[in-house]
Amino acid sequence: MSPEQTPSMNLDPGLWEILCCPETKQALTPMDAGALASLNQHIAAGTVRNKGGVAVERPLDGGLLRHDKTVLYPIRDTIPLMLIEEGIKVEGLL
């Protein structure tokens, strides 16, 4: 994984070795800028909910995409939200 993939990802390099999906323990990679822009368009349209069922109303600063590319953990103010219920199912959105 490389923090350079997303400008908002200024995480300590040591964190990349331990960050994983809290649900499945799969590896995570930073979401690329194009996919982030697409997801933020869906958020602006009001069509995105997190796994907890809450509508995502604010655009994301970045995201950590699970290895199977089905769930994204949002980044807000450079902080990854690593709670299962904060995950966003991205199938069909990207």
What tens-digit pLDDT sequence spans the chain (94 residues)?
Answer: 344 444 445 666 777 778 899 999 999 999 999 999 999 999 999 999 999 999 999 999 999 999 999 999 999 988 899 999 999 999 888 8
CA dist 13 and 49 (Å) reads 30
Given this model, what pLDDT does residue 61 score? 94
C-alpha to C-alpha distance for 69 and 12, rounded to whole angstroms: 23
Beta-bridge mates of residue 88: 72
State the distance between the two ends of the chain, measured CA to CA, in whole angstroms.
20
pLDDT (0 to 100) of residue 11: 64
| Three-state DSSP class for residue 65 | strand
pTM: 0.84
Tokens 């390099």 found at? 13
pLDDT at 40: 96
Q: What is the predicted pLDDT for the residue at 83?
A: 96
The CB-side HSE value for 18 (13 A sphere, CA atoms) comes to 6
Predicted pLDDT at 78: 85
